[in-house]
Chains A and B, each alone.
Chain A
Amino acid sequence: MINGLSGTGSSGSVGPVGTENPGGGSTGSAGSTSTGSGGNSATDNGLDAPTEFSCDPTQKPAMEALRALTTLQYTNTLSDLASAALGDAAAGTALLSELAAPLAALPPNVPIVPQNSVAFAAAFPDGGWLRADQDIQFSRVQAFYNIGVQVGHALTTPARLGQVVGNCASDADSSNDAACLTAFIQSFGARALRRPLTDADLSFYSGVYGADSKADPAAYADVIAAMLSAPEFLYFVEHGEAQVSNLPGVYALSAFELAARLSYQVWDAAPDAELRAAAADGSLLTPAVYRKQVDRLFADPKAHAALHRFFADYLEVESSGGPRGTGGLNYHQLALRDSDPLFKAYAGSDLPSDALAQHLADDATALLDYYTWTAPGTIHDLLTSELSFAQTDDVAKLYGVPAWDGKSSPPALPAGQRPGLFTRALFLAAGADTAPILKGIYLRRYVLCDTIGPPPPAAANAMVPITTTQTTRQATETLTSVSPCNACHTSYINPLGFATENFDGLGRFRSEQTLYAADGSVAAKLPIDTQVTPHVGMGDSTTTASGPSELMREIDASNKPGACLARNYFRYTFGRFEDLSADGCALEAIRKTLDSGGHLVDLWQAVVTTPAFKQRTFE
């Protein structure tokens, strides 16, 4: 019922024939190896992702379309606006609580993946980027309207009108009413519309109020409602200023437009007073002041919270179909933990609680947080770290280490066992069995950004069985060794997943696989085989890896993860999918921050200093 499809089958979501557009996107030309560089050539069944990008400054990015705030950005903005209007930092949160009903009618954003597989992602959530969800829905427009009307009412109650508008709106003196209205429109409007109001704006909103400027709470409520449904409130309305030389149709953003982009990028919220001031005096357009503001925004805890949104996209923690997060644990019947003898025997003393899925996501996010903020690290740290960031007892127990307190030095994991982010339980947990196919697909798509084609008909009907005679690897090989499955599975999918088969379906380290009968009795114990030819470079059929440590080292050495991370971050930032040619300059500027041991935090910050971030293509 409801969202019951759990997505990608265990038999794989990807198959032969490399027809997928690797760059993704409606822009069409993305992904050709001819536009990037450093990647290997296309094989019969896939395309190697580039390891760096070609920057041709004469190319301009695709025409941009009015971008909407995400639901999170919208609610943050609403809350901040109410707090400012009521002069109380806590007032915004309180107001959102009052408006719980109309806010609940605001549809959530839907994770979007590149156009060529958009259907797959939306129908069967398997990752994607929330900021790329830009469809204008009637239900959203209706909800925005209703919320705006409700906020208008809420801010103009007798108890609040004086605070929000001023005493001039509630005193008995009618001679100040017109000035009172003008002042309110200008002050509230400048915050709501994220720029000073023009005379035309003033005239328009005065018209909303009505011809009679006599203080009227209902009329003020209408003005507020109109502002909260205005294009400048709901969208990034950008007109640009000076044309960029040698790029016809590309214009530099105004100071207020840039302030808005920067603030929503780093905080998922509207510019604060200091940023608005820098926009108002124009200093934000100077490199020094802009750098100062970038540093200030990134130093604020709000940046940490906002970056978690990117981490959630990148880690696919909201996936319901992959081997991660709730998807992973739901995949093999978490709900059966109390009734399935096989799963109970398999889990032993680690029977998952309802909270485990969130704890696994928190563990992976903590690793990214640590190497971003606490001890700025590199892509190498991301892939090879042997520190544990598990802050809950259940996850720490899976790793065999004490829980981290989040402040002192993270405990070390057993040496050589669990290198880097992608051997954490979030990526391994699948229930009473492992999911090597799904592990392999994630690494291929999200970490390497390689392209492989769709599975053949009926592939999804085939399922890796839990047997009493074969390891998961053996059962997977049996299932996928036949044509046409073997074309992709044997080289490009399975090996990446087999290399971490020394972790079980709950993410625990193991040296052998215990096979259970349906009644939970032990049927056999078989040795684990993690030896693979991973084809990290898709044309490389000779390099082998003995297990996760060697695999992660090879992935690290391939230089693909940095370029892939840059592409993922580009999608998050711009809410669209990259064109490797036209967006090559921005992508390369982001990617190269990781060269020579550059830190991840440098990559997060680099995007806002690229020309692409400060400009807009109009034609």
Chain B
Amino acid sequence: MSYRPLKLGRRHFLTGLGGFALAIPFLPSLEKPASGAAAAARPNFFYLGSDHGGCWDSNFFPTSAMPNSLTAAPGHPVTSGPLAAQVASGRASLSAVLNASSTALTSALVAKMNVLRGLDVPWYIAHNTGLHLGNFARNDGNGGDNLVVAALGMRPTIDQLMANSSAFYSSADTATTKLRSMIMNSGRQLSWSFAVPAQGVASPVQSVQGVNSSLQLFNSIFGGEKPSTPAPRPPVVDKILANYKSLREGNTRLSAADKARLDTHIAMLAQLQSTLTAHVSCTLPAKPTEDSADHHSGSKSDTAKYGQLWMDVVAAAFACGASRIGVLGFGDTAGFSDYAGTDWHHDVAHQWYSDQPQAWLVQSYQGLFEQVFVYLADKLEQLDAGNGETVLDHSLLVWSQESGMETHGSYGVPVVTFGGAAGAMNTGLYCDYRQNGQTDAELSLARAAGGMGSPAMSSYVTYPGLLYEQWLATAIQLMGVPKSEFELWKDSSGNVEHGVGTPYLSTDKPYVTHYGSLSSSYFQNASNPLPFLAKV
């Protein structure tokens, strides 16, 4: 779409389509400071989730020097070092996967990037859509542990905890917020929320279904914005909301379950009411001429276009403050590869340990990284947020996958980020959280099975590190949401559970050797920010 990046001066009041003047300045950073101090930037969060994983560590992670060291737990040092891309022939490269055109992945952009290694969900989670954002019960039930975790109950994901947090969306934000979260692609249910967020843990957790059309998403955010001619009648949503409340509170017979569902519908109507009365605070972007829904051919160009059309809407929404949360469950990444078949799942993702499928996986993830993730980061970097900062500086963009380097295995799930989380996050770092060399903690299912086809896999081992739950807790706190809003559950002894996700530990030897038990410091510290990342 022909989105026009906005390069605006401070306190610049915008003129919208049709020449109508908007009374609200472009971005929060342009707001008049209350007492001479700069107003806090409002952060944006975007999550890109891809299927499978299965990319060998050697293909995914950089080989940077790691001069920095901290102690994560007794006997467990963790390291970090600056990210530095090698530039040659117009390509900037951190690894086989993490490389892109040097005109997009500039040194400035690399300096706003992080690569995190050694984050584990410490049991065999197999196929899932719940690892990504913290609803670990959302798994395929395979492997025994999964059923136990599923029985412990579903939990809301960090994007939805943010979306419903007054710490993330303040009352002032509601004037410009058209959609609290942009959930893209209903084929991947990565987002889960309390059905009635105000009821917290008393409410059941349900999926937040995505939309399958970038054009539809655009219209739901910007489509209702019209020149400021007075509406002849107020939106009827107020009356509809009153009708539901009347039924809910009336004296006709209803079950408690009926009332709970009415509560959910009422909460949705209240959100709709807010959406209908909000107005975006920027120049309305031109309506896209293409739709992601029309780009399913599976060709490389179509696959890239599919992702980029979504990213255009995300960038427009972030720039305008119309929404500050986006989640795209991309699905599989076959379209970025040379693989010519249609059974990527079995032919490639499940064969991650063999050389040719691995080459296709690498190719596909590199495509996703460059054509979608870097595309968005670069786009946000071009958007001036005032004070010499860009919209990317105010954002936290995250890419991770369904599995780690072993498809279905959830150790060492790679996390890549862009953006400074509105000043809350250190960037330009490669962080390795593993406890390398720990006896009896060697991890590699492929190795245990004799390498499963590749000499490279036969000898490879890796080690546990820190909990993926701690990463999720880090991310949500970087977005300004306090612990009190995600530490909502207690264990059977009445102790608060830490981190985001279901605390659970497999009885598999490597995990037990390293993580010990649920009372170990790893689990007890799971709500604390990961080493190196948070600015003090």
Contact = CB atoms under 8 A, between A and B. Distances in A.
Interface of A: 1-7, 9-10, 13, 15, 17, 19-20, 63-66, 104-105, 107-108, 110, 116-117, 119-120, 122-124, 134-142, 145, 149, 204, 207-208, 210, 218-219, 222, 225-226, 229-231, 235, 237, 239-240, 251, 330-336, 339-340, 454-461, 463, 616-619
A3 B331 contact: yes
B237 interface: yes
B239 A207 contact: yes
Interface stretch (B60-68, B203-211, B469-477): B203-211
28 contacts: A1-B306, A1-B334, A4-B344, A116-B151, A119-B137, A120-B139, A122-B207, A123-B188, A136-B265, A137-B268, A140-B209, A141-B265, A142-B272, A145-B272, A204-B239, A208-B239, A219-B233, A229-B236, A235-B261, A239-B253, A454-B142, A456-B144, A457-B144, A460-B127, A461-B353, A461-B452, A463-B346, A618-B253
Contacts of B236: 149, 208, 222, 225-226, 229
A616 B255 CA distance: 10
B272 A141 contact: yes
A interface secondary structure, majority: loop
Contacts of B229: none
Nearest to A149: B236
Contacts of A20: 141, 147
Contacts of A457: 124, 126, 142-144, 408, 445
Given A65-B257, A119-B139, A618-B253, A105 B124 contact: no
A461 B254 CA distance: 49
A222 B127 contact: no
B294 interface: no
A142 B206 contact: no
Interface of B: 51, 124, 126-130, 137-144, 146-147, 150-151, 183, 185-189, 195, 206-211, 213, 216, 220, 232-233, 236-237, 239-240, 243-244, 246-247, 252-258, 260-262, 264-265, 268-269, 271-272, 275, 296, 298, 303, 306, 330-335, 340-346, 350-353, 407-408, 445, 449, 452
A63 B256 contact: yes
A463 B151 CA distance: 29
A145 B240 contact: yes
Contacts of A138: 208, 268, 271-272
A222 B262 CA distance: 22
A230 B272 contact: no
Contacts of B330: 1
Contacts of A334: 342
Given A66-B262, A226-B243, A460-B126, A119 B150 contact: yes
A191 B414 CA distance: 56
Contacts of B340: 336, 339
A137 B247 contact: no
A328 to B, nearest CB: 12
A571 to B, nearest CB: 18
B147 A19 contact: yes
A134 B275 CA distance: 23
Given A3-B331, A119-B137, A458-B449, A145 B237 contact: yes
Contacts of B138: 119, 123
A4 B464 CA distance: 30
Query: Which of A66, A330, A616 has the most C-beta atoms of chain B within 10 angstroms of its own C-beta?
Result: A66
Given A123-B127, A237-B247, 10 more contacts: A2-B331, A19-B144, A119-B140, A137-B209, A226-B239, A231-B247, A332-B343, A454-B140, A618-B255, A619-B256
B275 A142 contact: yes
A2 B184 CA distance: 10
Contacts of B353: 461
Nearest to B224: A146
A20 B129 CA distance: 20
Contacts of B345: 4-7, 9
A230 B240 contact: yes
A107 B306 CA distance: 19
Contact of B189 (A123, A340, A458): A123
A312 to B, nearest CB: 19
Nearest to B130: A119
Query: Which of A120, A240, A456, A618 has the most C-beta atoms of chain B within 10 angstroms of its own C-beta?
Result: A120
Contact of A239 (B189, B254, B268, B306): B254
A226 B258 CA distance: 20
A119 B143 contact: no
A122 B189 CA distance: 8
Contacts of A251: 253
B190 to A, nearest CB: 10
B468 to A, nearest CB: 17
B342 A336 contact: yes
A440 B233 CA distance: 60
B257 A63 contact: yes
A317 B445 CA distance: 35
Contacts of B237: 145
Contacts of A3: 187, 331
A119 B147 CA distance: 10
Contacts of B185: 2
A617 B146 CA distance: 33
Given A105-B211, A218-B233, A124 B127 contact: yes
A546 to B, nearest CB: 31
Contacts of A335: 341-342
Contact of A461 (B211, B246, B350): B350
A136 B261 contact: yes
Query: Which of B186, B216, B258 has the most C-beta atoms of chain A within 10 angstroms of its own C-beta?
Result: B258
B255 A65 contact: yes
Closest 3 CB pairs between A and B? A4-B332, A65-B257, A3-B187
